[in-house]
Structure 1
Amino acid sequence: MFVRFLDRFEEAFISLLMVAAVLLIFVAVCQRYSVSLLADLVSWSRANGHESLMGMARSTYRSVAGINLLWAQELCIYLFVWMAKFGAAYGVRVGIHVGVDVLVNAVGPRWQRLLVTVSLASGVLFTAIVAWIGGHFVYGIAQTAQVTADLEMPVWIVYLAVPAGSLLMCFRFLQAMVHYLRTGEIAHHEPAADLIAETEQGLSENQGARA
């Protein structure tokens, strides 16, 4: 039950961060280009004697230029940092991380099991160390009054992504190792297989609808 909730939360959180970053970038870019276009429209209408159009364009320009989005770039960076850390944990769960398995495929089943277990255990150990060091660093910086440049939010909130994401990644490595020791299977993402499965599912649904 807890693992299922964690899976859904992880997917929803990453999707939310991604949507928020894309929308924020879209709005910021639209605002920037709108200011430029409105400035050109004001110049053009003044040069051609369109007083009413110039007044409307100037009023709109002031309204759009008055929107303060200087903080958008900073927030997008922080959103991508959190997205990357939790996305890395998600990658461990579904098996999309790049791995070199030449040595594993060259040895027998017994050694394969040992090498895979050692590699997963190393992932558990490494991410646990990063989570511990990151947590210690966040705790130390939380005792200060440091804030970000534009948003003026506490800096420790930004750095919290490191221990939080690493801890989740550690859990995913541990989960993958336990699953491998029990079943001998490890998560491995195959984009081509997923595409074929989706295509077959779509064809089946179309045939069912026609029937």
Structure 2
Amino acid sequence: MAMRGISDIIFKVEKLAVIIIIPVMLLAMVFDIIFRYFVQSPLIWAQELTLYTFVWCSFIGASMSIKTKEAVAVNLLVDKINPKLRNVLIVAGLIVSALFSIFIFYLSINWITNPNILLQKSITTQTPMIFMYICIPISLLFMSIHFLSWFLESLRFTRAGKVIE
């Protein structure tokens, strides 16, 4: 239950982040279009901000899709087999997915703590690139927690003899 509570809190934080980031991205795009085509003076920072907010939304959205169980999946085989084997395959898939996201999280931490990465700055605004890169380990940590929560929930379903959805 504790893992589910943590996952729920993270999901609320993700929703809040997306609610803030998407309008910022939209406003940056609109200002860039207005200044580029109507004022004939493009905003240097607008394209960069749009790109960074898009990357953040993509990674956060990927994590949110795990929590809501709407991530892209191929269910052709799983939908055709009996419920007991289905539960085993789903639990196995969740274990592999959780381990994979934890491993990639570990690699991303090693990557962003590299001094060369920490010193990188964006081309136009000279903003430290760590502000964009940090979304990778954050979203992978959130994904890992969502996967572990889903895994524990699936174990409870399996023990109760229910079919995992």
TM-score normalised to the size of structure 2?
0.86
Going from structure 1 to structure 2, the CA distance change for 1:143 and 1:108 (only over 3 Å counts) comes to: closer
Tell me how far 1:145 sits from its aligned partner: 2.5
Question: What's 1:117 paired with?
Answer: 91
User: Does the alignment pair 1:131 with 2:105?
Assistant: yes
* 1:30 alignment partner in structure 2: 34
Give the whole-Å Cα distance in 2 for the aligned partners of 1:13 and 1:27.
Answer: 21
Residue 171 (1) aligns with residue 145 (2): yes
Does 2:160 correspond to 1:181?
no
- For residues 53 and 78 of structure 2, the distance between their equivalents in structure 1, rounded to whole angstroms, comes to 36
Aligned identity (percent) is: 24
CA distance in 2, matches of 1:98, 1:146: 33
Contact persistence 1:141–1:155 (CA under 8 A) = no
Structure 1 length as normaliser, TM-score?
A: 0.68
Asked if 2 retains the 8 angstrom alpha-carbon contact of 1:146 and 1:155, the reply is yes
**1:19-168 aligned within 5 A:** 19-36=23-40, 65=41, 69-141=43-115, 144-168=118-142
- Aligned partners of 2:153, 2:134: CA distance in 1, in Å? 29
Instruction: Say how many residue pairs are matched.
Output: 157
**Could you say what secondary structure the match of 1:153 adopts?**
coil
CA distance in 1 between partners of 2:19 and 2:163 (Å): 28
RMSD over equivalenced CA pairs, Å: 2.0
Shift of 1:156: 2.0
Task: Specify the structure having the higher radius of gyration (Cα).
Answer: 1
What is the DSSP-based 3-state SS (H/G/I as helix, E as strand, rest coil) of the residue aligned with 1:175? helix
List per-residue Cα deviations over 1:23-76 (Å, max 9, x = no partner): 11011111122125xxxxxxxxxxxxxxxxxxxxxxxxxxxx3xx611211121
Kindly provide the amino acid, as one letter, of the partner of residue 142 in structure 2. L
Q: Which runs of 5+ in 2 are unaligned?
A: none
> 1:144–1:117: structure 2 CA closer, same or farther, 3 Å change rule?
closer
Structure 1 spans left out of the alignment, 5+ residues? 37-64, 188-211
Instruction: Name the amino acid aligned to 1:91.
Output: S
Q: What is the CA-CA distance between 1:106 and the residue it aligns to?
A: 2.1
- C-alpha displacement at 1:185, in angstroms? 6.0
Contact 1:93 1:172 survives alignment (8 Å): yes
Once the two structures are superposed, what CA deviation does each residue of 1:148-180 show, in whole Å capped at 9, x if it has no partner? 111211122221111111111111111111112
Change (3 A) 1:143 1:95: closer
